[in-house]
Structure 1
Amino acid sequence: MNKQQPQHIPIDSTNPHSIPRGLRADARRNRQAVLHAAQQLFAREGLSVPLDEIARQAGVGPGTVHRHFPTKEALYLAVSIDQLETLVAEAAALADGDDPAAVFTLLARMMANGAENSAVKSALAAAEFDLRIVAPEVATALTGHVSDLLNRARTAGLVRDDITVEEVMALVAGAFTAIHHANTQTDPGRATHIAGIILDGLRPRY
């Protein structure tokens, strides 16, 4: 089945993962506050939380939320892309460092992010939205950083020689499912434990 195309999502149609053009500074701050509040509420209370409650948590009026995100579908997508962009920034910072084990730090953060946002990711999957299609530049940037960090760890002898970046990204996606299946989304300790088991599989076998 073909993935749905993102054109009907009310985000900048030429670059759907960017902040809409022409926003004033206060409007940008409001938009980011809404995204932050939505991410927290979706993680804590599920996807049924009303948009008006998101507005209250963000400290803005309901009309502000509706102007930026006329539908919940648009908000789900924007929350996911915002989180992905945050991961790219974290990955870039790790890539600029010299820690040979940084790939484990990044992958653990990616798995934790997936656990925190599992409800939103499930909603997008059900609607057949693929972030690799909706926000290809961001997804490609994250994969590129993972690849660089993986190569650094491999050179240092910290990961298996037979691991590819495609396999690593597949393991991260699988970790979301494992954490969700174990009902540990609201238990960071158990979610971290599951992520650790998965990451141990990347280490060399002696």
Structure 2
Amino acid sequence: MSSQPPEPVPTAHGRELRADARRNRERVLRTAQRLFATEGLGVSLDEIARRAGVGPGTVHRHFPAKEALYLAVAIDQLKQLVAEGGVLAGTGDPAALFRLLSRMIASGAENVAVKSALVAAEFDLRTAAPDVAADLTRQVADLLDRARAAGTVRDDLTADEVMALVAGAFAAIRHAGAETSRERSAHIAQLVLDGLRPRPR
């Protein structure tokens, strides 16, 4: 594990946040992510502040509009997935690829409302956070190479195809109305991921 300090978080004016402000921002993001997933996008910024244990001014200062909070939550999610991919890469587990993809699909299913809101507002995460999106794709590509070497995945897969299948799994879960059921969404994810495994000879 690296002992490097956490990456600074820029403010709207380009300055870095103080440690306490960064902690408050992260608390707001985690609380918003949970509330959006469980209670929908109708929850107010003031209610998010109350549940996060910060003042309303803190939320409005960091996120002057709901759309800014949606985008920040989605980017924060990607960063969490990149971090999880790094941890999995360090385990040497040949099934690490499937574990990361399962987590990606579960995360997407839990936050489908946020993603839908971003699409409606014409936000593209790959454009809004290209470095983070690229980091996640690299993590998938690295774990795919390891899985291929271990013989736990089809040898004709590319990382782009795997990412496309993850997006397809999101769509399938949404089409089935399974976003709020972890059991059903996990079952659909498993059906998709089973298609990545080596074909019987």
TM-score by length of 1: 0.89
SS of the aligned residue for 2:151 comes to coil
Deviation, 1:18, is 4.2
1:127 corresponds, among 117, 121, 124, to 121
Deviation, 1:19, is 4.3
Preserved CA contact (<8 Å) 2:63 2:69: yes
Alignment-derived partner of residue 188 in structure 1 = 182
Equivalent residue runs for 1:1-206 within 5 Å? 18-20=9-11, 21-206=15-200
Give the Cα separation in 2 of the matches to 1:18 and 1:28.
7
Deviation, 1:131, is 1.0
SS of the aligned residue for 2:42 comes to coil
Deviations along 1:160-194, one digit per CA (max 9) or x if unpaired, are 11111101000111111111111111111111111
Alignment-derived partner of residue 5 in structure 1 = none
Is there any run of 5+ residues in structure 1 with no aligned partner, and where? 1-16
Aligned-residue CA RMSD (Å): 1.2
Give the Cα separation in 2 of the matches to 1:70 and 1:127.
15
Higher relative contact order (CA 8 A, sep 6+): 1
Closer, same or farther in 2 for the Cα pair 1:142/1:165, shift >3 Å?
same
Alignment-derived partner of residue 11 in structure 1 = none
Deviations along 1:141-166, one digit per CA (max 9) or x if unpaired, are 11001001001111111111111110
Which amino acid in structure 2 is aligned with residue 104 of structure 1? Answer: F
Is there any run of 5+ residues in structure 2 with no aligned partner, and where? 1-7
What is the identity percentage for the equivalent residue pairs of Structure 1 and Structure 2? 69
Deviation, 1:22, is 2.9
Deviations along 1:46-92, one digit per CA (max 9) or x if unpaired, are 11111111011101111111000000000000000001000000001
Give the Cα separation in 1 of the matches to 2:76 and 2:171.
21
Give the Cα separation in 1 of the matches to 2:115 and 2:122.
10
Closer, same or farther in 2 for the Cα pair 1:176/1:18, shift >3 Å?
farther
